[in-house]
Chain A
Amino acid sequence: MKPILLQGHERSITQVRYNREGDLIFSCAKDNTPNIWYSINGERLGSFNGHNGAVWCMDVNWDSTKVLTGSADNTCKLWDCETGKNLVTIDTRTGVRTCSFSFSGRVLALSTDKTMGLPCEIQFYDVLDPQQLRASKPFLSIPIEGSKVTTALWGPFEEYMITGHENGEMCQYDTKTGELVLSIKEHNKQINDIQGSKDLTMIVSASKDTTAKLFDTSTLDHLKTYKTERPVNSAAISPIKDHVVLGGGQEAMEVTTTSTRIGKFDARFFSLVFEEEFARVKGHFGPINTVVFHPDGRSYASGGEDGFIRVHNFDQSYFEHNFEL
């Protein structure tokens, strides 16, 4: 395969997302301008200018009309996807670590960092209420007392929010009452990413403790473990095959002391069921920070510490691959 290199960021990539139909790619990095690209040929459609800090997260609503970005400059911005205009800026007291639209796009959730003596919070805003957004007054705010939230995902029917924490905990918070529904601790280090399967019956978590784990979404029962020998920064489940892709590498601060060959910066494909690695793809010059499958499962994109986004269209051999038992 010939990957398409998207070179629009000056610093390491923090998150890459596809929209629902998969024709657009959204990317944000530690520089100030998130980008939007056509997935088919890698053409850049535009960028969202206005942040003054690293952009940690971004999301797009289901009909690709609005884009949400959360940044370390203590703001979360809502953009018009077609024109790139900033619609609303939500001011938070600390940096925004995660942000996402609910399935309907009516509610947006964001989580803030625990810094400057302020606690980590999960906040919920009604997108249809401009008053709420402008005044930065969430209709629900959940203070997190323990370890801070590093990644969050909407549960089925918007009933609860699944959060991954810095100490390896994974929790479910009710999105109506703000109560803690369920809490487990299967990882012993920070959870970097949580992504769901297509039907959201399963979620896969990527942790610094060098493993990725598969859980049942509603009960958070631990199902499978995918072991590597380096921190895992991101993991995604294929929407069409029983595959999991893991992206990681040793920590960014140690990269300069090792060669690329030993660095293990390749994306690794595991069998969802057998927990066995069956393929890997090289290319990045630094650890992979984020991996995501195209909604049709025929390509995937990865963003790395090296500042590049690589869009890979799978060869036929990938689809023909069978496990030898």
Chain B
Amino acid sequence: MPSLESEPKGISWAEQVEAGDEGSLPPSSEDYDEKNGIKTITEYKYNDDNKLIKVVKTYKVEVRRVSKSIARRKNWKKYGLAERDPPGPNPANTIISEEIMMQFINSKDQQPEKEEDPLAKLKNQKIVQCRICKGDHWTTKCPYKDTLAPLQEQLTEDPNKKLAGESTGALQAPSSAPKTGKYIPPSLREGANKGRGETMAQGRKDEAATIRVTNLSEETRETDLQELFRPFGPISRIYLAKDKLTGQSKGFAFINFHRREDAARAIAGVSGFGYDHLILNVEWAKPSGNQ
């Protein structure tokens, strides 16, 4: 506490004004315990709600031996913005902040950055999984996003097995559509096809290998679809619904494959595939209404 001992304790003008207003305040007292070097100042004042409060300030008085030049500087008068400050630190300018610890970093396990970054933390746990390559990243960030390479690898293996059984019943097309409690017209329900004549089946052959792709982006072109679906097998026709005026895609398309197996594989492979920031939805095309 520079200057606290050397100068008589003056009261700042603000306190004097206050004291004058309120009148009969109990006198402040000062205790100094020389043995322990503890000084206690007891003051009384009125708070904002006009209630008398007692303020007890406890200081630890430390005597430090310093060079003469420093000791002289301790007795300098305050100036500038601090001119009217009472001796000792002004609580408006000097605050003792709460205890903080120096965090030591062990050179052995040194990866403090990772711990602090919440995103980095998540990286270690498998929260994000790519739908294309099963890596630890978002599907849109997948390096194979546009190449479909891992997709095809995967297709050569398990979906073939899975579809082997399915493709035996060539005409049970709708049964492979997701059975999620959606409404299925009676004509499409299982067993509904049995009542149809042979001739009808002939006309539907085409349709049976048709898939419907939805949730396409507006920028999609037929060539894009061709690129996307050609790996699965020969395509006979691609129909992309377009707006008459703008020529932009309406967001869905029909793809006719020559073979039904190819179509089935395309559904298994491309459904849920992120394309152009959208997630594609691929399913069997429903028979057109005019039949």
Contact = CB atoms under 8 A, between A and B. Distances in A.
Interface of A: 1-8, 21, 23-24, 33, 35, 37-38, 40-49, 63-64, 82-84, 229, 261-262, 264, 269, 276-283, 310, 314-315, 317-318, 321, 323-324
16 contacts: A2-B99, A2-B100, A4-B96, A5-B97, A7-B93, A23-B70, A37-B94, A42-B94, A44-B85, A45-B76, A46-B82, A48-B80, A64-B69, A64-B73, A281-B103, A315-B101
A46 B113 CA distance: 40
B157 to A, nearest CB: 42
B80 A324 contact: no
Interface in B59-85: 64, 66-67, 69-70, 73-74, 76-83, 85
Contacts of A278: 104-105, 107
B97 A310 contact: yes
Contact of B102 (A46, A47, A281, A310): A281
B78 A45 contact: yes
B53 interface: no
Closest 10 CB pairs of A and B: A47-B80, A84-B79, A46-B79, A42-B94, A46-B80, A5-B95, A47-B81, A43-B89, A44-B82, A23-B70
Q: Chain A interface secondary structure, helix, strand, loop or mixed?
A: loop
A43 B104 contact: no
A21 B70 contact: yes
B129 interface: no
Interface residues of B, number: 44
Contact of B116 (A21, A42, A64, A262): A262
A40 B98 CA distance: 17
Interface centre among B64, B69, B110 (most CB of A within 10 A): B69
A279 B105 CA distance: 5
B1 interface: yes
Contact of A63 (B69, B81, B96): B69
Contacts of A324: 106-108
B94 A41 contact: yes
B37 interface: no
A83 B76 CA distance: 8
B90 interface: yes
Given A38-B74, A64-B69, 4 more contacts: A1-B99, A40-B2, A46-B78, A280-B112
A50 to B, nearest CB: 10
Given A23-B70, A38-B2, A280-B102, A43 B88 contact: yes
B94 A279 contact: no
B103 A279 contact: yes
Contacts of B116: 261-262, 264
Interface in B191-219: none
